[in-house]
Chain A
Amino acid sequence: NAGVTQTPKFQVLKTGQSMTLQCAQDMNHEYMSWYRQDPGMGLRLIHYSVGAGITDQGEVPNGYNVSRSTTEDFPLRLLSAAPSQTSVYFCASSYSQDEQYFGPGTRLTVT
């Protein structure tokens, strides 16, 4: 049981490039979410999903897209990276919408 996995662990992008952060869980959790963590800001919700085919926006969704075609996977897409998206990104999953389990994170730098 791997729990929540994220790839890559580190990524450097140039402004304007696109990329997808991968997130997968093997706990059959319906609820998955993406957060970004910036110094002194805590964790802020980007997008979340309550099940396959259903996604919704969180507090800071601009510049990010998500999809949920399977229960296991919840990728986060940056269509045109900006320096303001430099952050640590955490994916989380939970059986309900409370006890969330976090992945190891992806540290993204946009130059």
Chain B
Amino acid sequence: GENVEQHPSTLSVQEGDSAVIKCTYSDSASNYFPWYKQELGKRPQLIIDIRSNVGEKKDQRIAVTLNKTAKHFSLHITETQPEDSAVYFCAATYSGGGADGLTFGKGTHLIIQP
């Protein structure tokens, strides 16, 4: 099955700086890579996703890049703000018949220092 590794487990950055979280996956058949943000005591919420036919996707201050050859994808947050503090999870799956759900990384606790 799929295995997703996520680094770092904790990331502390100054407000206004950029943050980068990296994930690797093992199954070359995976073609859908979402990122979820989870605030304390809340449910995970999808913030951005990318499919394997695209190398990069941006949404305002958030971007995700995908390198299929190296089997890794990254989340980039620019101009960080206090409300970006949360736990971020990457995930991977094969989106199509026979898929067995999302495989998540273990999460990154992002701390924005004022």
Contact residues of A with B, CB < 8 Å?
Answer: 33, 35, 40-45, 48, 56, 58-59, 90, 96-105
Contact check, A45 vs B101: say whether CB atoms are below 8 A apart: yes
The smallest beta-carbon distance between B27 and chain A, in angstroms, is: 13
Report which residue of A35, A101, A102 has the largest number of chain B beta carbons within 10 angstroms of its beta carbon.
A102
Q: Which of A35, A44, A45 contacts B100 (CB 8 A)?
A: A45
B1 in contact with A100 (CB, 8 Å): no
Determine whether the beta carbon of A97 is less than 8 Å from that of B93.
yes
Q: How far is the CA of A34 from the CA of B32 in the complex (A)?
A: 19
* Interface residues of B, Cβ cutoff 8 Å to A: 1, 6, 9, 32, 34, 42-46, 49, 89, 93, 95-96, 99-107
Looking at chain B's contact residues, the main secondary structure is loop
Known A-B contacts: A99-B46, A102-B43. Give 7 more (CB < 8 A).
Answer: A35-B104, A42-B89, A45-B103, A59-B1, A97-B93, A97-B95, A100-B102
Among residues of A, the one whose C-beta sits closest to the C-beta of B90 is A42
Q: Which of B1, B46, B99 contacts A97 (CB 8 A)?
A: B99
Contact indicator B107/A42 (Cβ below 8 Å): yes
- Roughly how many angstroms separate A101 CA and B93 CA in the complex, as a whole number? 15
Which residue of A has the minimal Cβ distance to B95? A98
C-alpha gap A56/B102 in the complex (Å): 14
Q: Are A97 and B44 in contact (CB under 8 A)?
A: no
A105 CA to B39 CA, complexed, in Å: 13
Would you call A102 and B100 a contact (CB within 8 A)?
Answer: no
